[in-house]
């Protein structure tokens, strides 16, 4: 699969390929024409933890700065669950995590790890 993606740069990832295959399947079995939207320039600085969103690092940071907690909670949870530890700090501060954590819907075990870490760091 990797060599196919390397040879076909217009298909940015495995999920892009899967979407194209599904659209092709639907077109062959349907009378309604469907035209896939293919990005001509896939974003190269897309954070690894957002493989399924078309957002680059600057857009993620802008969302975190501009949105109220209710609208960015999903993104904070994604960062805490999926981002490598060192990358978390590129987007969030311990204070932001402390404020958001009680309101986040995320893996309970991962949430407890972050709660414990924040408790240890605050010296309580």
Please say if the pLDDT value at position 124 is more than 70. Answer: no
User: What is Dmax (Cα atoms) for the chain?
Assistant: 65
Phi and psi based region of residue 123 (left: phi greater than 0; alpha: psi -120 to 50; beta: remaining): left
Instruction: Spell out the residues 6+ positions from residue 26 whose beta carbon is closer than 8 angstroms to its own.
Output: 34
Q: Coil, strand, or helix at residue 93? A: coil
pLDDT tens for each residue of 83-93: 999 999 999 99
Task: Tell me what pLDDT residue 48 has.
Answer: 87
Quick one: pLDDT at residue 38? 57
Residue 29 half-sphere exposure, CB side, CA atoms within 13 Å?
6
Question: Residue 42: which pLDDT band, with cuts at 50, 70 and 90?
Answer: low
CA–CA distance, 50 with 58 (Å, rounded to integer): 13
Contact 76, 114 (CB under 8 A): no
N- to C-terminal Cα separation, the chain: 50
The confidence score (pLDDT) of residue 81 equals: 96
Sequence-distant (6+) residues with CB within 8 A of 23 are 34, 36
**Are the beta carbons of 121 and 94 closer than 8 angstroms?**
yes
């Amino acid at each position: 699969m990797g060599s196919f993606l390397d040879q076909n740069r217009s298909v940015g990832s495995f999920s892009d390929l899967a979407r194209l295959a599904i659209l092709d399947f639907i077109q062959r079995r349907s009378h309604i024409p469907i035209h896939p939207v293919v990005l001509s320039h896939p974003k190269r600085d897309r954070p690894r933890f957002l493989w399924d969103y078309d957002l680059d690092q600057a857009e993620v940071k802008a969302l975190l700065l501009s949105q109220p907690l209710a609208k960015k909670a999903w993104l904070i949870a994604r960062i805490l669950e999926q981002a490598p530890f060192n990358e978390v700090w590129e987007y969030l501060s311990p204070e932001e995590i402390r404020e958001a954590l009680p309101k986040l819907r995320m893996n309970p075990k991962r949430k407890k790890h972050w709660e414990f870490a924040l408790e240890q760091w605050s010296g309580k």
